[in-house]
Amino acid sequence: MNLGFALGQMMAQASNTASWWKPMQASAHAGAVDSLFNFIMYLCFFFFVLIVGAMVYFVVKYRRKGDGPERTSPIKGNHRLEIIWSVIPTILLVVIFAWGFKDWLAIAVVPNNAMEVRVTGQKWNWTFTYPKEGIVSSDLVVPAGQPVKLVMTSSDVLHSFYIPDYRIKRDVVPGRYTVLWFEPSEPSTHRIYCTEYCGTSHSQMLSSVKVLDSAKYEEWIANGGEEGGASAVPLADKGKKLYEARGCVACHSVDGSPKVGPSWKGAFGTNRKFADGSSLSADENYIRQSILVPGAKVVAGYANVMPSYQGQLNDKQIESIIEYIKSLK
Amino acid sequence: MESNRNNMTQSAHAGTAGGAEPNYINAHKGIWSWMTTVDHKRLGLMYLVGVLGFFAVGGIFALLVRTQLLGPTNGWNTGKQEWLFSGDTYNKLFTLHGAVMVFLVIIPSIPASLGNFFLPLMLGAKDVAFPKLNLMSFYVYILGGTFLLISIATGAVDTGWTFYTPYSTTTSTSVISAVTGVFILGFSSILTGVNFIVTIHKMRAPGLTWVRLPLFVWAQYATSLIQVLATPVLAITLMLLAIERTMGIGIFDPKLGGDPVLFQHFFWFYSHPAVYIMILPAFGVISEIITVNSRKQIFGYKAIAMSSVAIAVIGFLVWGHHMFTSGQSELASAVFSVLTFAVAIPTAIKVFSWVATMYGGSIRLNSAMWYALAFLFLFTIGGLTGLFLGTLSVDIHLHDTYFVVAHFHYVMMGGTMTAFVGALHHWWPKMTGRMLNEFWGKVSCFFVFTGFNITFFSQFLLGTKGMPRRYATYLPEFQTWHQLSTLGSYLLGLGFSITLVYMIASLIKGEKASRNPWGGRSLEWETDSPPIEHNFHVQPVVKHGPYEFPEIDHSMSTGGGH
Amino acid sequence: MGQQSSSHASTAGHHHPKYLAHHFESMAQQNASGKLGMWLFLGQEVLFFSGLFLAYVLGRIFYPETFLAAHELLDWKLGALNTIFLLTSSLTMALAVRGAQVNSKPQMFYNILATLFLGGAFMVVKYIEYSHKFHDGLLPGHFFDAAKAMHNGAPANIPGAPAIFFAIYFVMTGTHGLHVLIGMGLMIWLLVRINRGDFNSENHVYLENVGLYWHIVDLIWIFLFPLLYLVR
C-alpha cells in the first residue's frame, strides 16, 4: 500500500468529505474517533517498522554465508531489554485505553436536550417513528445542530444500526431497547447500514439519514413526513420510492424474476394461486391484505416469510404502492 | 548435514533411516492397520490428511465468496439482481467457509496433526498417555466433520459460523446437524487436550525438565488447557441452541422470554479462548523454526513459555470485547477493554523475543524459515490492528466491518496457517522421510505472502471506509478494493496449489531425508526419518536444553550491551 | 495394548507387570496418568454443567416469581429420597475402591453392585417424577400445557414463564440423568472386569476413575436438588 499517500491524507485531516479510505466526519464525535484512530495508526506504523525493520536487518546481516558452521552469539536473554519492551507497550496501551474510554463515554451518555426517534429494525428495512408528531418514515430525517436520541428495537432477529459518517453503531435487539445518539453538524445525507447479519437481504437493509436545516425540518414535520411539494408527485412514483426505501425491493423484483417473493411485474389483475389451493384475482383489496397480513394468502411456491407492515405504512402509502404495482405492466 | 555428529552422542544405536527396523509407516500393512492404529504418528498423519482435505473445501468456499464480491454490485436500492449467487446462497457459502475453516481446519490443524505426531517424540515418549483415547478422538473428529457435511448436503446453514440467536433458532436451514457436528468436534478437541496435558506431565524422558521442554511443547500445553476448559461451554451452548430450536425452551429467543445476548456471552466465552487455541500452537512452531534456523538459543525462554500460559489465562477473561456494541453494560465493556489490552502485552513480548533471537545468529533461509518470516510480518500487522478493535470508541466504528474480517484473517490465516505450512516444511522430512523441493517451497511462499497481503490489506481499507461484513452485495464505491481483494485471493489459491503439487511430488520421488536435516537439538531429531514404530531405539536421556546448538560460541560476550 | 511390539524397548530386562501398557515405564506412571486424565475430564464436566447453572441463575433473576411458584409443582420428598440414594451410592463406591486397595474381590464386587442398584433406584424415582410431569403437561418450551397443568391441580396461574422453568428443570435433570445412566453402564463393565480378576491393589485406576466420575455426578445433584426443589 502506498503508505506515504495515506499519511499525507491523514495529515490533511479531511473532514467534510469522504477520503479515499475514510468516511466523512459528519459530527464532532467522528472527528474525535478519527484522531484516536490516527494516533493508534502512527503507533502501529512505528512498531511495524521497528519489528519488521529489525527482522529484515538481522536476516541480511546474519544470513549464513557458505556452507561451513559459523559461530553464533550465546545470548539467551536480557532482562533490561525485556523489561523495556514490556513496560513501554504497557504505558502506551494505558494511554490508548484511557483515550478510547473518554470518547466512548461521550457517546454512551445521551444529552438531556436530545430529541427522540424510535427505530425498528425488521427483515430487511428500518422504520423511524417520531413519537410526538406521530410520523412514520423510512428515512431518518433530523434537523442540523440538534442532538438526536435513537431508541431502537427489533421485531425479529438481531440487527445493528450503523452510520459510518458519525462513527456510531449499536446492535438492535429484539425484546429490549438499545440507545444511540448523535449530533449532526450540517445539512447533508448519510448512509445507514445493518451490520449484524440478519439473513437473505442483509446487504440490502439500507437507509439514510437526511439532515435538514431547521426550517426545512419544520416543513417536513408539518407535511406529515413528506418533503415540500410532495402532493404534486404522482402516486405511482411515491409508491416506487416506498418500494425502494421500505425494503420491498429486497424480496420483490419489478422485472418478472422471482426472488424471495413473487415479482410485481404484471402482477395486478392476474389470477393468483395460493399455497392452500385457493385462488383469487390480485386486486386492491388483495394487495392491501398482503401488505398488512402477509400470511393470510401465500402464493403457491413461496414461503410465508414476509413481515407485516401493520402500523408502519399508512393508508396513503399503501395506496401509492398499489398504484405503483398497477403501473408495472 | 553438519549437526548429525552431536546427535549420535545420545544414541548408542547408530541406526540410519532405512535400516533393519521398519518405520511406523511400513511396520504394519493394509488399510485396517491404519484404521485401528493407536500410534500417535499414524494418527497425526491421518489428521493431517483430514485437515488438508477440509482446508481445500473451505478454501474453495472462500474463493466462491470472493468471486461473488468481484462482480457488478448492487446499486443504492435499485433492486438489481446479484451477478453470481443469490443472497441465500452467498450466506451459506460464507457460513460454510467459516465453520469449516474454524472447526475442521484451524482448531485441529497444528495440535491434532503436528501435535500428535511430535509431542511424544519431543518428550522422548513412546506414545501419548492414552493412545486408544487418541484413536477415539480421531473418529470423533471424522464423525463431527461428517455431520457438517450432512448439513451441507441437506441444504446447508446460513447463520454464520457464530450461530447467533434468534436468527439461528428461526432460520429454516439445517442448523441442527451443523450444530451437532460442531458439538461432536468439540469433544474431539477436549479429548486431545486431556491427552496432551497428561502426556506432558507424566511422559517426559529422564532429564527433560520443564525448562528443557521445547517451546512447541509449552505452547501445546497452554493450548490444551484452553481446549479442556473452554470447549465444554461451547458444547452446552450448542446443546441449548439445538433444544431451543426443537422445543422452544426460551433460553435465547426473546419471543419466548429468553435473552439473545446471553447466547453471545456463552458463545464468546468459548470462541475467544478458541482463537488462542488456534494461535498458540503457531507461536510454538515459530519458536522452533527460528531457533533451529538461526542456530541460537531462544531469546528469553522463560518469558516466551510463561507468556503462552499468561495468554491462555487472560484469554478467558476478554470475551466481552466481541460485544462492545451488543448492549452489555458500560462497566463490562470498559473492563473487557482493559483486559484485552492486557493480553496484548505477552503477545508483544513474544514477537520482540523472536526478532531478538535472530540477532547474532547464522540464519539459514530455507523455505520453513521463509514461512516463519512471513508469519512475523503478517502476525505483526494482525496483532497491531487488534489495538484499534480493543479501543472502545474506535471499535464502535470498526465493529462488524471488513476491518474485523481483515484483522481476523491476518491473525488466523497470516498467523496460524502460515505457521502451519511452515511447520509442514520444517518437519516434513521427519514425517515422511523425504525432502521437499526448496525452490518451489520459496515460490509458493512468495505467492502466498503476496496474495495474502493483497487480499486482506485492501479489506482493512474497506472496513475503515465503513463496508459491513457478510454482505452479498455492496455499494459501487467499494468495488475497486473488493476487486483487488478477489485478485489477491486467486494468487493465494495459486500459492497453496503449488504447495500441494510439490508435496505430492516429494512423496513420490523426493530426495531421502537424513535423521536431522536442519540440525535440531530437540528429541524428535534423534530418531530415524521416518521414526520407527516405538519412536526410539533406546530410551533417550536429556542432558541439555532444546536450543543448545554446537555453533553457539560461549567465549563471546553474554553482556547485555549491544 | 494390542500392539505390543517385538522391538527391543528399554523395558527389556526389568519386571514388566501384566497390566502395564507398552508405552509406560511403570505402574506408578500409568496410574498417575490415568488419574490426572480423569481429573482433567472432570474439570471439563464441571464447566459443561456451569453453562446450565448460569442459565438457571439468569432465569431466576428474570423470573423470580415463576421459579418460586413453579417449584411447588416438584415433589421435594422424591427429590430428597433421590439425594439419599446418591449419597449412599457414593459411600458404597468409596468402599469398593477401598476393596481394591486391600485386594478384596467380594468387597469390590458387592459394593459396585450396590452402587449400581442405588443408581438404578435413582433412575426409577426420576422416571416416576418425569411421568407425573408428562401427565400434568408440565413440559419444557412449546410443550408446556397450562390448561392441562391447571386441570391437574397446578395453581390457577403461574406468573412469568413457567415453560422456561420446566425447560431448565428438564435440561438440567435430564443431562444429569444421562450422566447417571453412563455411570451405570461403566459399573456393569467394572463388574465384568472385577469378576475376571482384573483389579488389585496395584491395578485399579479404572475403578478409581469411575469412582471419581460417580462422585462428581453425585456432587452435581447435591447442587441441583436445593436449586430446583427447595427454592425460597
Q: For C140, which of B39, B195, B247 is closest by C-beta distance? A: B247
pLDDT at B370 over 90: yes
pLDDT at B85 over 80: yes
How many Å lie between the alpha carbon of B308 and the closest alpha carbon of chain A? 15
Burial of C188 (0-12, 13-18, 19+ CB in 10 A): exposed
Contact yes or no for A204 and B556 at CB 8 A: no
Contact (CB, 8 A) for C17 and C203: yes
**What is the rounded CA–CA span in Å between residue C107 and residue B159?**
55
B125: helix, strand or coil:
coil
Of the ranges A236-245, B242-251, B531-540, the best mean pLDDT one: B531-540
pLDDT at A101 over 80: yes
Q: For B232, which of C3, C48, C164 is closest by C-beta distance? A: C48
Q: What is the mean pLDDT of residues B66-82?
A: 64
Of A241, C218, A113, C165, which is closest to residue B251 (Cα–Cα)?
C165
pLDDT at A15 over 50: no
**What is the rounded CA–CA span in Å between residue B446 and residue B139?**
36
- Residue B357 confidence class, pLDDT cut points 50, 70, 90: very high
Q: For A55, which of B74, B373, B397 is closest by C-beta distance? A: B373
Contact yes or no for B392 and A100 at CB 8 A: yes
Tens of pLDDT along B465-518? 999 999 988 888 888 899 999 999 999 999 999 999 999 999 999 999 999 999
Q: What is the mean pLDDT of residues B429-448?
A: 95
Tens of pLDDT along A252-282? 888 887 778 888 888 888 888 888 888 888 8
Secondary-structure percent of chain A, ordered helix, strand, coil, rounded to 5:
40, 20, 40
Contact yes or no for B190 and C44 at CB 8 A: yes
Contact yes or no for C9 and B126 at CB 8 A: yes
pLDDT at C149 over 80: no
**What is the arrangement of strands in the sheet containing A140-143, beginning at the earlier edge strand?**
A140-143, A207-212, A188-194, A159-163, A168-172
Q: What is the mean pLDDT of residues B272-295?
A: 94
Contact yes or no for B537 and C44 at CB 8 A: no
For residue A195, give the CATH number of its domain: 2.60.40.420
Q: What is the mean pLDDT of residues A38-61?
A: 95
Q: Is A172 inside a domain boundary? A: yes
**What is the rounded CA–CA span in Å between residue C119 and residue B116?**
38
Give the per-residue pLDDT at C5: 38
In chain A, whose CA is at the least distance from the CA of B404? A195
Contact yes or no for B470 and A22 at CB 8 A: no
- Residue A67 confidence class, pLDDT cut points 50, 70, 90: low
Which of A161, A168, A172, A204 to substitute to test the interface with B, most B CBs within 10 Å?
A204
Give the per-residue pLDDT at A284: 84
Q: For C161, which of B190, B228, B250 is closest by C-beta distance? A: B250
- Residue B397 confidence class, pLDDT cut points 50, 70, 90: very high
CATH class of C46-229: mainly alpha
How many Å lie between the alpha carbon of C167 and the closest alpha carbon of chain B? 5
How many Å lie between the alpha carbon of B151 and the closest alpha carbon of chain C? 25
How many Å lie between the alpha carbon of B233 and the closest alpha carbon of chain A? 22
Q: What is the mean pLDDT of residues A51-67?
A: 91
Residues A7 and A103 reside in one and the same domain: yes
- Residue B522, sorted as left (phi over 0), alpha (psi -120 to 50) or beta, turns out to be beta
Contact yes or no for A85 and B352 at CB 8 A: yes
pLDDT at C188 over 50: yes
pLDDT at B91 over 60: yes
B205 touching C, CB under 8 A? no
Q: What is the mean pLDDT of residues B376-383?
A: 96
Query: Cell numbers of B259, please?
Result: 435473552
Q: For B21, which of C7, C9, C63 is closest by C-beta distance? A: C7
Residue bearing the bigger pLDDT, C170 or B19: C170
Give the per-residue pLDDT at B78: 47
Q: For A200, which of B91, B344, B399 is closest by C-beta distance? A: B91
Give the per-residue pLDDT at B535: 92
How many Å lie between the alpha carbon of B246 and the closest alpha carbon of chain C? 9
> By mean pLDDT, which of B226-235, B255-264, B477-486 is the weakest?
B255-264
Tens of pLDDT along A205-256? 889 999 999 999 988 888 877 655 445 567 788 888 888 777 788 788 888 8
- Counting every residue, how long is chain C? 232
Give the per-residue pLDDT at C68: 83
Choose one of A222, A251, A267: the last residue of a domain. A222
Tens of pLDDT along C95-140? 999 999 999 999 999 999 999 999 999 999 999 989 888 888 787 7
Q: What is the mean pLDDT of residues A106-114?
A: 89
Contact (CB, 8 A) for C49 and C220: yes
Q: Which residues pair with A273 in a beta bridge?
A: A279
B26 touching A, CB under 8 A? no
Which of A76, A177, A210 to substitute to test the interface with B, most B CBs within 10 Å?
A76
pLDDT at B393 over 70: yes
Task: Show contacts of A255-262: CB within 8 Å, 24+ apart.
Answer: A257/B81, A258/A301, A258/A302, A259/B81, A259/B86, A260/A200, A260/A201, A260/A302, A260/A303, A260/A305, A261/A299, A261/A302, A261/A306, A262/A299, A262/A302
Q: Is A71 inside a domain boundary? A: no
Instruction: Please count the other Cβ atoms lying within 10 Å of the Cβ belonging to residue C102.
Output: 10
Residues A122 and A44 reside in one and the same domain: no
Which of B236, B240, B253, B259 to substitute to test the interface with C, most C CBs within 10 Å?
B236
- For chain B, how far is it from start to end, CA to CA, in angstroms? 32
How many Å lie between the alpha carbon of C29 and the closest alpha carbon of chain B? 7
Residues A94 and A155 reside in one and the same domain: no
Give the per-residue pLDDT at B424: 96
B363 touching A, CB under 8 A? yes
**What is the rounded CA–CA span in Å between residue B25 and residue B17?**
13
pLDDT at C170 over 70: yes
Instruction: Spell out which chain C residues touch chain B, with contact meaning CB-CB distance below 8 angstroms.
Output: 1-3, 5, 7-10, 21-23, 29, 32-33, 36-37, 40-41, 43-45, 47-52, 54-55, 58-59, 62-63, 140-143, 160-161, 163-164, 167-168, 171, 175
Burial of A295 (0-12, 13-18, 19+ CB in 10 A): exposed
- Residue A184 confidence class, pLDDT cut points 50, 70, 90: very high
Q: Is A213 inside a domain boundary? A: yes
Contact yes or no for A51 and B325 at CB 8 A: no
Q: Is A70 inside a domain boundary? A: no
Q: Is A228 inside a domain boundary? A: no
Q: Is A288 inside a domain boundary? A: yes
User: Judged by CB atoms within 8 Å, which residues 426-485 of B form the interface with C?
Assistant: none
Tens of pLDDT along B139-183? 999 999 999 888 888 888 899 999 998 899 888 888 899 999 999
- Residue C89 confidence class, pLDDT cut points 50, 70, 90: very high
Instruction: Provide the pairing of β-strand A115-122 with A148-154.
Output: parallel
Q: What is the ipTM, given to two decimal places? A: 0.89
How many Å lie between the alpha carbon of B123 and the closest alpha carbon of chain A? 22
For chain A, what is the mean pLDDT?
A: 85
Instruction: Provide the pairing of β-strand A207-212 with A140-143.
Output: parallel
Of the ranges A216-230, B105-119, C198-212, the best mean pLDDT one: B105-119
Q: Is A121 inside a domain boundary? A: yes
Q: Is A10 inside a domain boundary? A: yes
Instruction: Write down the residue that cell numbers 421485531 correspond to.
Output: A155
> By mean pLDDT, which of A302-306, B258-262, B457-461 is the weakest?
A302-306
In chain B, whose CA is at the least distance from the CA of A106? B393
List chain C domain ranges. Answer: 46-229
Q: In degrees, to the nearest 5, what angle opens at C-alpha A147 toward C-alphas A217 and A218?
A: 15
Contact yes or no for C43 and B229 at CB 8 A: yes
Burial of B508 (0-12, 13-18, 19+ CB in 10 A): exposed
Q: Which domain holds residue A268?
A: 233-327
Contact list in B for residue A63 (CB cut-off 8 A) is: 363, 365
A72: helix, strand or coil:
strand
Residues A172 and A238 reside in one and the same domain: no
How many Å lie between the alpha carbon of A8 and the closest alpha carbon of chain B? 15
In chain B, whose CA is at the least distance from the CA of A241? B77
Contact yes or no for C167 and B249 at CB 8 A: yes
User: Judged by CB atoms within 8 Å, which residues 265-294 of B form the interface with C?
Assistant: 266
Residues A196 and A237 reside in one and the same domain: no
> By mean pLDDT, which of A27-36, B150-159, B358-367 is the weakest?
B150-159
Residue bearing the bigger pLDDT, C2 or A27: A27
Query: Cell numbers of B355, please?
Result: 526478532
Give the per-residue pLDDT at A231: 52
Residues A261 and A290 reside in one and the same domain: yes
Choose one of A194, A222, A250: the last residue of a domain. A222
Instruction: Write down the residue that cell numbers 464436566 correspond to.
Output: C45
Tens of pLDDT along C8-62? 444 444 556 778 888 888 888 999 999 999 999 999 999 999 989 998 988 888 8
For chain B, what is the mean pLDDT?
A: 89
pLDDT at B19 over 60: no
pLDDT at B77 over 70: no
User: Judged by CB atoms within 8 Å, which residues 376-395 of B form the interface with A?
Assistant: 376-377, 380-381, 384-385, 387-388, 390-395
Domains of chain B: 37-526 (1.20.210.10)
Give the per-residue pLDDT at C154: 67
In chain B, whose CA is at the least distance from the CA of A6? B461
Total number of domains in chain A: 3
Contact list in B for residue A23 (CB cut-off 8 A) is: 465-466
